[in-house]
Amino acid sequence: MDRICCIPWNRRKVFKALGVIPVMLTLALFGWSLVGYTMSILPLIHKESSWLAVLLGALIYALWVLSAWSYIGCVFVSPGNPVVAGSQAGAGAAESSSFSRNGPYIRVPSRTVESARTRADSSVRMADDQESQSSEESARGSFDNGNCSDNDNTPLNEEQMRRSEFMYAITVKDNGEPRYCLKCNLPKPDRAHHCSVCGVCVLKMDHHCPWINNCVGFNNQKPFLLFIAYSTLYCLDIAVTSLVFYLRLIFNAPGTAEIDITPLFLIILSLAFTMALIGFFGFHIYLTLNNLTTIESYERNNFRQEHDSRGSGKKHVNLFDLGAKKNLKQIFGPRWSLWFVPVRTQVGNGMRFPISYKNYNELRHN
């Protein structure tokens, strides 16, 4: 993923604009399915039993609302990027204004260079609106001393990378070097990857989904999983009830009676989507229980080991796997009553992740 070339900004805008088409198609299918079920299937059920029609209708409408709610969260919630997360983690207003002047990203300052950061903040506050040459040299000097300003838009050198807060990351490249995005000019936090379509680094990136025209990442992973779950149940409910009552209509109808074909389309589409979604949902449940992303499932992480100056590591142990229960709580939150509601309840900010020391000891002794 790190080697994918970034799509030029003009082409990227075209791709993002075209990405609205699958979103509109999905919303249209959701709307049509609900209308078709209400107009064609519920009357058939009502002829058999009115209370059953009310029960199944309430179930379908509840699943539709939850599916649509989750889908909107997938589309419109940002998956998260190091800039926003780093700013919310403690970067001050002066830092944000200084570090983002030459691009969309900032670097989170090192916790070990508080004095250098304080001097940089003082120089920023004293700078005038014209940002004179002296203030530029002062800011660049602070950067060279370990601060994280990016006035000349050049990548961090080895010493600056070592002092950067992102050096606390435990994942490294195949050659043991720190992970760094040359497109965003930004050290990568653990589990973050660059999306060539969105043009940004995404926290805990799972994949870029064309059906939501967005990346699935740290902030919208929960609504994405709930969308798959509720959509699977929604399509399965439509498929089963439509098939049962439509077959009964065909067998009980006179030979010359006209039969509505709308339920037939509902059955075909709902069965097709159900089969696809069940496999997709099962795969993502497996990833969730093992605390993996789609990218990590085929491109396992290299982990930096303690007292290893080269930063080399091995791929065969997943340090982020804390056990199924804790893995679920990371995404859905500590309160199980909110697990099934597509609202923000995930633990952390996507920059740091707890590790399993049992797996870490296994990694060290392999």
Among all residues, which ones are annotated catalytic?
Answer: 209
Q: Bridge partners of 200?
A: 195
Three-state secondary-structure class, residue 341:
coil
Q: Bridge partners of 180?
A: 187
Three-state secondary-structure class, residue 105:
coil
DSSP 124-140: HHH--TT--HHHHHHHH
The CA–CA distances, whole Å, from 117 to 113, 221, 351 equal 6, 34, 20
Environment class of 183 (CB within 10 Å of its CB; exposed 0-12, middle 13-18, buried 19+): middle
Return d(Cα 123, Cα 101) in angstroms, integer. 15
Q: Which residues, 6 or more positions from 115, have their beta carbon under 8 angstroms from its beta carbon?
A: none
Please give the structure tokens belonging to residue 284: 């993502």
Return d(Cα 220, Cα 186) in angstroms, integer. 22
Return d(Cα 246, Cα 259) in angstroms, integer. 9
Identify the CA nearest to 223 among candidates 64, 343, 60.
343
Environment class of 230 (CB within 10 Å of its CB; exposed 0-12, middle 13-18, buried 19+): buried
Q: Bridge partners of 303?
A: 171
Do residues 16 and 213 touch, judged by C-beta distance below 8 A?
yes
The CA–CA distances, whole Å, from 324 to 13, 286, 293, 319 equal 39, 10, 14, 13
Return d(Cα 289, Cα 302) in angstroms, integer. 20
